[in-house]
Amino acid sequence: MREIEVSKITDVVEKLCIEANNHLPEDVKCAIKDCRACEDGEIAKGVLDNIIENFEIADNECVPICQDTGMACVFLEIGQDVHLTGGNLTEAVDEGVRRGYDKGYLRKSVVKDPVRRGNTGDNTPAMLYTEIVPGEQIKVTVGPKGFGSENMSQIRMFKPSHGLQGIKDFILEVVETAGPNPCPPMVVGVGIGGTFDKAALLAKKALMRPIDSSNPDAFYADLEKEMLDKINKLGIGPQGFGGKTTAIGLNIETLPTHIAGMPCAVNINCHVTRHKTEVI
């Protein structure tokens, strides 16, 4: 049994909130640059040039890539041989978010009530997801999620009779409906299976996976490639001005499900697909 003070989680969350907002992952940067090299249209090339310049400035000056610094989605994979001490885990995570958004001069974008609103003033609470895994470490991932893209996400409870074609059509429908709103080129996370809530979580977790990786199941790896190709043939293009680059990545995650269902969730992210990870 390994004891870990929750204050260590606070420190890591604080650091990752700032790093994730200031520094785009290398796989995302490379994908944007590769797409720039493939574009023909002057407008599309110009938009991608601006996007590249923007994330380079953010890197060099350690400032946020986007003014929407997101709602802090925090994923904890907690080893089953870890004993957390020194306080409440949820409060420790929120304190990390509070400090990170304050010290990093990040916009506070969270309201305390979904209907009556009222800004919490410190970007808390975090959206906290915990998973118990083997071992004696804690893997912390922070993925700030902006809502221009989050608002474009959808879930549908398919019957099995809709089949694979139903899922393919749904993914394209969601992206086409989103159009320019999520600041394309976008990253598309797809969750298939589980229950209503699990499908949505799978789609969110799919966005945390590097976009230069593939699903380990060859069937879904091929589906990822097929759907990314079809999405880019929609012609929405960078920032919606037309072009070959509507999405730079599409990841699929799956779970077993009930015999009577086939849930599918599509979580859209803009080109600023931010996430940073550290292991304690």
DSSP for 40-89?
-SHHHHHHHHHHHHHHHHHHHHT--SSS---EEEEEEEEETTEEEESS-H
Is the distance from CB of 264 to CB of 156 less than 8 angstroms?
yes
Q: Which residue in 119, 138, 104 sits closest to 20, CA to CA?
A: 104
Residues pairing with 129 in the sheet: 75
* Peptide bond just before 185 cis, omega within 30 deg: yes
3 state DSSP class of 231: helix
Domain coordinates of the chain in residue numbers? 2-22+65-145, 148-273
- Using only C-alpha atoms, the chain has a radius of gyration, in whole angstroms, of 19
Q: How much is the pTM? A: 0.95
Q: How many angstroms separate the Cα of 132 from the Cα of each of 16, 92, 139?
A: 21, 18, 10
Rounded CA separation 151/182 (Å) = 8
Rounded CA separation 125/140 (Å) = 16
Per-residue pLDDT of the chain (280 residues), as tens digits, is 999 999 999 999 999 999 999 999 999 999 999 999 999 999 999 999 999 999 999 999 999 999 999 999 999 999 999 999 999 999 999 999 999 999 999 999 999 999 999 999 999 999 999 999 999 999 999 999 999 999 999 999 999 999 999 999 999 999 999 999 999 999 999 999 999 999 999 999 999 999 999 999 999 999 999 999 999 999 999 999 999 999 999 999 999 999 999 999 999 999 999 999 999 9
Locus of tokens 């700030």 = 144
